[in-house]
Structure formats: C-alpha cells, structure tokens
Amino acid sequence: MPFLGIDVGGSGIKGALVDTETGQLVTERIRIPSPPTFQPQEVLATIQTLIEQLNYHGPVGVGFPAVVQDGIVMTPPTAKAFPNWEGINLAQEITTTTRCPTIVWNDADVAGLAEVTFGAGQGVSGVIMVFTLGTGIGSAMFVNGRLVPNLELGRLYLRHKKKTAEHLMSDLIRKQEDLSWEKWGNRLNKYFQYIELLFWPNLIIIGGGVSKKHDRFLPYIHTRTPITAAQLRNEAGLIGAALAAATILT
C-alpha cells in the first residue's frame, strides 16, 4: 500500500504517494507555494488542499522544519523563525482537519530515514549522520538503523567564531557571502572534523540541494569518517515522511 509523504518547507509544501517497499514515488509530486506569513491555519489549509488534490484518505507522514516531539512543534519553524507555532500539536491538527491519521517528524529526520533506508546509507551499520545544507543546517543520526530524533547540530555554537554552525556554513551563507567552493569547503571541513570528534560516526551523508554539486566542495573535507553525497536529493523528504506514515499501522 502506498503512503502519502508531505515535505513542508518555507517556500513550498510538497506531497506524493510513495511505495514504501521500494522507495519509489507512485504519483507525480505536487508542490503548492507556502503561505508567505506561514501561520498554522494557513499551512493546515495548504496541506488539506494537497491531500484533496491527491484524493488520498490513508495515513499521512509530514516532515516539518522544526523540533517536533510527539507531533507537537517545539520551536519556531525554518531559519526565518516564523511565530505562533510553539506548542501546536500539528499531528493532531492535521488529523482533525483532513480525517487522515498523521505523524509529524522533524524534516531532517525524515530525509535521513529515507537515505538510510533507500539511499546512501542503505546497508551501513553503526552510526550514520545525515546533514542537509540549505537555508540552515539540518541533521539526523541513526544508530544501527534507529533514529535519535531532533538532533539540532546546526545550532552548535562555535565559541571561537561566536556564531552557530548554520550562521557560518549553511548554503545560504555560502551564497550571501559569495564564498568560493574552496573557502566554503574549508569551513565545512572544520565543522565535520568537530562532529567526528564528538560522535565518531561510521558514515556522514550530506544532502540538500547543494549536494548535486558535491564534487565542488567534498574534496576540501578531510575526515577519518567516509563522507558522501545523498542519493535521493529532493525526494528524500517525501520518501522519509511516507516511511514514517507507514509506522502508524504497525
């Protein structure tokens, strides 16, 4: 049975039905622009529209750009820190609005789940860490396939720079500061060497849209840990959210 995965972002809300046995999308991906003010009722209405367009009535999985505990949004979403979200039980709100049982996870967690199940981390044991480089830095960690949820390593404070990692090394910062691939790669190198020192992972996977250009910055990252680009790219959030939806029936 295919399940619906929804990937909520600051600029767009995407959805598709996914065969969770193969990781393949079985419908076209639908994308609806996110409401500019990104308020809870507006986002709920957009999700409802997406589900209606797919004529879907089963379990739904949602990746959301915030810390999420038991379906409840705990932090302002996205790097823009939209207000009025903290304490919202988003899973329950979507369930009530759409009558589809819904599970909500952090967006990096669902993308990581997809990569571990069907992508670059498939078949790798031990500790796998997935980082999504975009407007901010999302992160996920899996220990022998089990997720450690809400690992907000983009918020690591780097004392010598007096900034968080995502304010120094996100893809947005690369563009804003017009960094060369070498200079950005050197920043990433220091960050991932620090991550390696803290967690000793068996594999690091780098995702986000910039991973398509991994050959331009990966040569500047030197870690003991094997480091590779994500394979599922823009579909990872949808696939991982659908995998989360499948757990509703287990």
| CATH homologous superfamily, domain 3-109+235-249 | ATPase, nucleotide binding domain (3.30.420.40)
CB atoms within 10 A of CB 96: 12
Task: Domain ranges for the chain, please list them.
Answer: 3-109+235-249, 124-231
**Token duo for residue 200:** 């000793």
Distance from C-alpha of 211 to C-alpha of 181, rounded to nearest angstrom? 12
pLDDT in tens, 90-146: 999 999 999 999 999 999 999 999 999 999 999 999 999 999 998 889 999 999 999
* Predicted pLDDT at 122: 96
pLDDT in tens, 207-236: 988 999 999 999 999 999 999 999 998 899
For the whole model, what pTM was predicted?
A: 0.93
Question: Across residues 152-181, what is the average pLDDT?
Answer: 91
pLDDT band at 62 (very low <50, low <70, confident <90, very high): very high
3-state secondary structure of 78: coil
Q: What is the CATH number of domain 124-231?
A: 3.30.420.40
CA 34: distance to chain centroid? 16
* Predicted pLDDT at 79: 64
Distance from C-alpha of 245 to C-alpha of 250, rounded to nearest angstrom? 10
Is it true that 3-109+235-249 and 124-231 share their CATH fold? yes
